[in-house]
Amino acid sequence: MSIAQNLNNIKSQLPSHVTLVAVSKTKPVADLMEAYNAGQRIFGENKIQEMTEKWQQMPKDIEWHMIGHVQSNKVKYMIPYVKLIHGVDSLKLLKEINRLAAKWRKKVDCLLQVHIAEEETKFGLDEKELEEILNYVQNDKNEMNNIRIVGLMGMATFTDNQEQIKKEFQNLKSIFDKLQQLETLNLKLETLSMGMSGDYQLAIECGSTMVRIGSSIFGTRY
Ligand SMILES: *Cc1c(COP(=O)(O)O)cnc(C)c1O
């Protein structure tokens, strides 16, 4: 099947409240253009340099999402054009995004990445760190005026065990719900980014509002 067919297939399965991020990492611009010509406008990349090169070559009505781990010293390269950063996992990084976004007089949308997987190697915050960051951001004297926390992101354990993945997604959803109900929270958390090619249907059942799908659209990455 072609990229356009894959894309249309997936889109036809998504409820209207779920946003599709087409994860195009490692794929050539020609492949991305095929998705673009089939109507896709949101692309996710996990390396800043690769995303920047593609941004330069592609139409400017695309929303670029950074889905990978971000190093503070590279943030400056993507600030001019990035729409949403999924993997914010420290206050230090958030401050750096805010500082550089201010320079560009921009507001950059961010998701806080929560650690839900079993693997220690996966990035992400625990609940206590989440609340600390949210409190910091909401305190006017910290002047975090150039970022907007719009939700949470998480990655399940890499396993075939559907029950385990489901538990991890449900855990993230319950953290998301709990934060939304915090009386001290003035932010509107509306995005819950969870689900990839192998588990997006499950993620949607568990409350995902944004799925990040790569190989099911563009084919296997080598
Ligand atoms: C690569 C990647 C995806 C997409 O994975 P597929 O299995 O190809 O759909 C989603 N999210 C993140 C964070 C990724 O790095």
**Total structural domains in the chain?**
1
Structural domain containing residue 44: 3-218
Ligand 1 within 6 A of CB of 152: no
Percent of the chain with pLDDT over 90: 92
7 lines ligand 1 (CB under 6 A): no
DSSP secondary-structure letter at 140? G
Residue 136 has pLDDT above 80, yes or no: yes
CA dist 129 and 77 (Å) reads 27
User: Measured from the CB, is residue 6 less than 6 Å from ligand 1?
Assistant: no
In the structure, what pLDDT confidence band is assigned to residue 186 with cuts at 50, 70 and 90?
A: confident
Most ligand 1 atoms within 8 A of CB, residue of 9, 20, 46 to mutate: 46
What is the pLDDT confidence band of residue 183, given thresholds at 50, 70 and 90? confident
CA-nearest of 191, 218, 214, 156 to 85 is 191
**For residue 125, what is the DSSP state?**
B
pLDDT score of 23 more than 80: yes
C-alpha span between 112 and 97 (Å, rounded): 13
Q: 85 CB under 6 A from ligand 1?
A: no
Residue nearest (by alpha carbon) to ligand 1 atom 11: 212
Picking from 79, 86, 90, the residue whose alpha carbon sits closest to that of residue 23 is 86
60-112 per-position pLDDT tens digit:
999 999 999 999 999 999 999 999 999 999 999 999 999 999 999 999 999 99
- Burial readout 146-158 (b: 16 or more C-beta within 10 A, e: otherwise): bbebbbbbbbbee
With a 6 A CB cut-off, is 212 part of the ligand 1 pocket? yes
Token pair belonging to 130: 């989440």
CATH number at residue 82: 3.20.20.10
Among 63-67, 122-126, 141-145, 146-150, the minimum mean pLDDT is found in 122-126
Element counts in the chain: helices (H) and strands (E): 9, 8
CA distance 108 to 163: 35
Cα dihedral across residues 41, 78, 127, 161: positive or negative: positive
Tell me the two tokens of residue 83.
């729409």
Ligand 1 neighbour 75 (Cβ under 6 A): no
Could you tell me if the CB of 211 is within 6 A of ligand 1?
no
Q: What is the pLDDT of residue 120?
A: 76
46 CA: nearest ligand 1 atom: 15
